[in-house]
Structure formats: structure tokens, C-alpha cells
């Protein structure tokens, strides 16, 4: 079975990193409405250190960052900040903890 990646208990569908402003975006849901894609999830800032949720953010806002943002390949999600692999009775589960966020 494939590992399940979760951020604050919610399955992740994509992870993006922004090198310029040192943020990691954990997308937990994508919603399409009237031709626009809206994103839901969490963003982790390194300066200041915090993890906060966001919702209804148009995908254009994230992708307007151009070359400074890149999509993390799924096989490297475990390397992202606040992501740990937990042993599980079934498939392995990856989840976000609040260690280092404050």
C-alpha cells in the first residue's frame, strides 16, 4: 500500500516550497469554482517560525511567485519541515507535528 501523507491530520495533495520567502505550502484540498482553482491547507514560515492554516486562496496567488516556488516531488515529501513518518498498523502514515514551529 502507498503511504498516506497528512498535515495536521488532513491528507496532503501537494507540497510547494518557496526559496525566496522561506515558506512551505502544504495543500490539503483543491476546489474548482467558476474556472478558478482555490487552495486550502497550511503554510509554514521559517521567519517568523509559525504554521498557519489558509483557505480559499486562489492558485494564482501561489503561482505568481514564479521561479521562486517549486512543487516538491511526492517521493521527497518526507523531507519537508514538520513532516514525520509514524508507524501504523496498516500503511505508514506521514503527519505534521508542531515541533519547531514555535
pLDDT averaged over the chain? 77
**pTM for the whole thing?**
0.74
What is the distance of C-alpha 23 from the center of its chain? 10
Q: How many domains does the chain have?
A: 1
Please check whether residue 102 lies inside any domain of the structure.
no
Where in the sequence is the domain holding 53, given as residue range(s)? 4-96
Please check whether residue 19 lies inside any domain of the structure.
yes
pLDDT band at 95 (very low <50, low <70, confident <90, very high): low
Please provide the DSSP assignment of 42-68 as one string: EEEEETTEEEEEEEEEEHHHHHTTGGG
pLDDT at residue 102 in the model: 38
Please check whether residue 51 lies inside any domain of the structure.
yes
> With 80 as the cut, is the pLDDT of residue 91 above it?
no
pLDDT digits (tens, 9 = 90+) for 12-37: 889 999 878 888 899 999 989 888 89
Please check whether residue 57 lies inside any domain of the structure.
yes
Amino acid at each position: 500500500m502507498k503511504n498516506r501523507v497528512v498535515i495536521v491530520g488532513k491528507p496532503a495533495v501537494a507540497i510547494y516550497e518557496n526559496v525566496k520567502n522561506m515558506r512551505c505550502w502544504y495543500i490539503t484540498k483543491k476546489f474548482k469554482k467558476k474556472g478558478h482553482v482555490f487552495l486550502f491547507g497550511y503554510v509554514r514560515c521559517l521567519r517568523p517560525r509559525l504554521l498557519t492554516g489558509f483557505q480559499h486562496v486562489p492558485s494564482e496567488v501561489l503561482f505568481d511567485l514564479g521561479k521562486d516556488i517549486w512543487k516538491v516531488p511526492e517521493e521527497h515529501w518526507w523531507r519537508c519541515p514538520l513532516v514525520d513518518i509514524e508507524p501504523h498498523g496498516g500503511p505508514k502514515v506521514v503527519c505534521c507535528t508542531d515541533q519547531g514551529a514555535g
